[in-house]
A and B are shown apart, each in its own frame.
Chain A
Amino acid sequence: MPLLRPQLPTGPHYGILAEFATPADLFHACERVRDAGFTRWDAHTPFPVHGLEKAMGLRRSLLPWIVLVAGLTGAAGGFALQWWVHASAYPLVISGKPYFAWPAMIPITFELGVLFAAFGAVLGMFGLNRLPMHYHPLFKSKVFERVTDDAFFISIESWDPRFDSSATGKLLESLGARSVELLES
């Protein structure tokens, strides 16, 4: 499945990594990178920064639709299974109720709807993020180790149409980056 295969730039360079000192610096830099028209880039922070998705110009995720479809599939499947078992395959009279006693099927329908929606959410998130990914060029960077601690990063990938290894680096420096480095693939 192409969705589950890691998508990384081909060629000698992965891209450029820039480190910023504060979330505010990162936030404003993201706005400028967005306005410069870059499309294949990302921001990395140790904690969620409110409004960053707007500053990055991210589109809304596809995930809610995956969850909806998965949840409805689970609910429909759960209901259909019970209907098939109780009313068709192996009809039994249970406490004087009709074979097709739909109220009795609601709890399991509900549970399977929730279960499948949760599967959809977790697996959908993994798929959209292309996880699990066992190798990523970013981790070659020494400064990037602090991304889970106290540093804020922007990475711009080399296959972005606007990428230029020297001009893009200068742009990030002009946006207040503390350090800029070119990463190998």
Chain B
Amino acid sequence: MTAEHDRALAPEQATIPPGHSWNRIPVIGAVCALLGIVACAILGAANPKQFYFSWLVSFLFFVSLAVGALFFVLIQYAAQGGWGIVLRRIGETTFAMIPVMAALFLPLLLGLRDLYSWAVPGAAEQDALLRWKEPYLNVPFFLIRAALFFGIWSFIALMYYRGSRGQDVTGDPGVSARLRKFAGPSIIVLALTQTLASVDWIMSLTPHWYSTMFGVYFFAGSFVGFIALLCVVAPAMRRAGLLDTVISPEHLQDIGKLLFAFMVFWTYIAFSQFFLMWYGNLPEETIWYRARMEGSWMTVSIFLMAGHFVAPFFYLMGRAVKRRNSTLALGGAWLLAMHFVDLYWQVMPTLHPDGIRPSVLDLAALVAIGGCFVAAASWLMRRQALVPLRDPRLAESLAFENA
């Protein structure tokens, strides 16, 4: 019904103009990264164990956002979705950070013995279960797997990033068709590798624990995390006068709906994992929850239920909240923070089983990795169009309206 179906975008409408304040973000990010890394080096030297755990939490936080972004874009290709084309470049920029995250994974390799009890030499000799798991859970195979995960993810990420950027120049609709063909298999590969990665990096912190749902729990968290990031970045760009006529309240409402839906999905998965273990009451399953239901960790568990589900459930339910920059960004920022709390709650009880003990290193690692992530992503944003300019479905996305 609208006359906007043939609207096209000029490149200058979709780039950060010279002199815009967003041009300074890479420098600000780099300064933060530098400060964070220095703080980590100084404080971490005194308390290496705390450093590795803090670094692991922040690493998982940002790597999960990048992998969530890859899912977001792949799903749109596979389903031939039109509505979200104007948001796709934000996703592409986020998953282009996967190689950066691979580099930020390296410090953890120095601390494998501090992080993972199965990696301590001789651990398997005194422990029947670890001995049984040793053919899988051993340091060389762990490293090979990590290299495989990052190799596969980077391959998929770069294929989609380069394809989309290339289409900006050539306008070849065949690129979309080719990437669509690879999207289905890529989703399967990504789901499998992400499951295995979450088992390696988080679950194996408690090597005696069994859970068959952990992979999908990590996926749910990572997808909520990326959508929450999108709900912060898209309104922030509109506010800064970037794409403010391209991304409309209709798009905001749709990512708000996605945020709501996957927040509920996370809750469903998180509760299902807990519920079956609590009911079954088998020690090999309950050890993980027992550590999180005692002392101050129980407070964090309740906070997670209230903050990752109850509050955002009612906050994000309404229509008007999802259509305004400020209110949607608040919901996104809140859930982004809760995603961090979720990962912190998954990792930290291994280090501090007696109760939550926040450390300056938690903040230092977050600033260090976050600084690198933001600096690299915003540097990429300066060098590229902020939307896929010549995607065949761009006009459809520009004219999108909720029914």
Contact = CB atoms under 8 A, between A and B. Distances in A.
Contacts of B192: none
Contacts of A50: 1, 401, 403
Given A48-B403, A68-B317, A103-B274, A95 B1 contact: no
Chain A: number of interface residues, binned into ranges: 10 to 19
B275 interface: yes
Contacts of A48: 403
B271 interface: yes
B279 A104 contact: yes
B273 to A, nearest CB: 12
A95 B2 contact: no
A106 interface: yes
Contact of B275 (A51, A68, A103): A103
Contacts of A122: none
Interface string A77-111: 00000000000000000011100000110110000
B141 interface: no
Contacts of A68: 317
Nearest to B275: A103
A14 interface: no
Interface in B1-27: 1-2
Contact of A106 (B1, B275, B281): B275
Interface in A15-34: 23-24, 27
Contacts of A51: 1-2, 401
Interface in A37-70: 48-51, 60, 64, 68
Interface of A: 23-24, 27, 48-51, 60, 64, 68, 95-97, 103-104, 106-107
28 contacts: A23-B1, A24-B1, A27-B1, A48-B403, A49-B1, A50-B1, A50-B401, A50-B403, A51-B1, A51-B2, A51-B401, A60-B319, A64-B319, A68-B317, A95-B279, A95-B281, A96-B281, A97-B279, A103-B271, A103-B274, A103-B275, A103-B278, A103-B279, A104-B275, A104-B279, A106-B271, A106-B275, A107-B275
Interface of B: 1-2, 271, 274-275, 278-279, 281, 317, 319, 401, 403
Given A60-B319, A96-B281, A106-B275, 13 more contacts: A23-B1, A27-B1, A48-B403, A50-B401, A50-B403, A95-B279, A95-B281, A97-B279, A103-B271, A103-B274, A103-B275, A103-B278, A106-B271
